[in-house]
Amino acid sequence: MALYLIGDVQGCNAALGQLLDKLAFSPSRDTVFLLGDLVNRGPDSLGVLRRVIALDGAAQALLGNHDLHLLATASGVRKPHRNDTVDDILDAPDRDALLTWLRHRPMALQAQGWLMVHAGVLPAWDVAQTLTLAGELQAVLRGPDWLHFMHHLYGNQPDRWRDDLAGFDRLRVIVNALTRLRFCTADGVMEFETKDSASAAPPGFMPWFEAPGRHTAGRPVAFGHWSTLGRVQRADVLPLDTGCVWGGCLTAARLLDDRGGVERIDVRCAQAQRPGKRC
């Protein structure tokens, strides 16, 4: 039995199929964890959803910001973006079943000692709190009032966590950290404008995993979302968005042990425009 983590697929269904083939992935034997952003920007978002759903319990997928954007667009909460590539899902005869399946995906997972999120973890959260807060958000998204919540999902405030936050403010901080976070201050103030590499941190900010006193430090955390991040020389974080949809690769990590040991496996996306780009 092998456990694999895969970074942002973003509608690159052909690359996902090639990567699973390269892994010799067996649904009866192996498990794959996809770290969010299954859809959007790539050429075949519908194919990705149908492939992952067909894997049934052998595939576990997190919700990413693009997946939430699809749910918001489908429900009329947000207008489609000109660069969206999810019309195949919105026009599918089984769109309701597909969207319901997507809405019931988790916001964070833990397996073989690894904490998995789409984007990041705030410095004040330990593993247990991260999973608990993710569970709060999941319960709302899966509940009868999920559409009401979607109308209050978007916004940058509050920009930091407090234990006494309640209602939509509390949920918005949770979703922003788990699906949008790249940079924050030492005390956890989030910044959402900068999308460049770690070296481009705005004054006073740093990559979330470099925050001093981070409560998840030393515990292996895998995440996607940050295709421009580049290589990270830390044993306790594993970034897996290697920019497939932007001309890079789709990357999997095979978990070797519960102490952070991994083997990386890559395939280059067919629509790559920059053949020399590193994965």
Q: Residues 40-73: pLDDT tens digits?
A: 999 999 999 999 999 999 999 999 999 999 999 9
Model pTM greater than 0.85? yes
Q: Find which of 70-74, 262-266, 271-275 is predicted with most confidence, using mean pLDDT.
A: 70-74
Q: Residues 171-202: pLDDT tens digits?
A: 999 999 999 999 999 999 999 999 999 999 99
CA distances from 112 to 11, 45, 264 (A): 27, 29, 16
pLDDT at 260: 61
The β-bridge relationship of strands 59-61 and 31-34 is parallel
Q: Quick one: how far is CA 230 from the chain centroid? A: 16
Task: Tell whether the model's pLDDT for residue 258 goes beyond 90.
Answer: no
The answer for residues whose C-beta is within 8 angstroms of residue 36's C-beta and 6 or more apart is 8, 61, 62, 63, 64, 65, 66, 67, 117, 118, 119, 179, 224, 225
pLDDT at 256: 86
Mean pLDDT of all residues in the chain? 94
pLDDT at 233: 80
Q: How confident is the model at residue 265 (pLDDT cuts 50, 70, 90)?
A: very high
Task: Tell whether the model's pLDDT for residue 126 goes beyond 60.
Answer: yes
Task: Tell me the mean pLDDT in the region 96-113.
Answer: 97
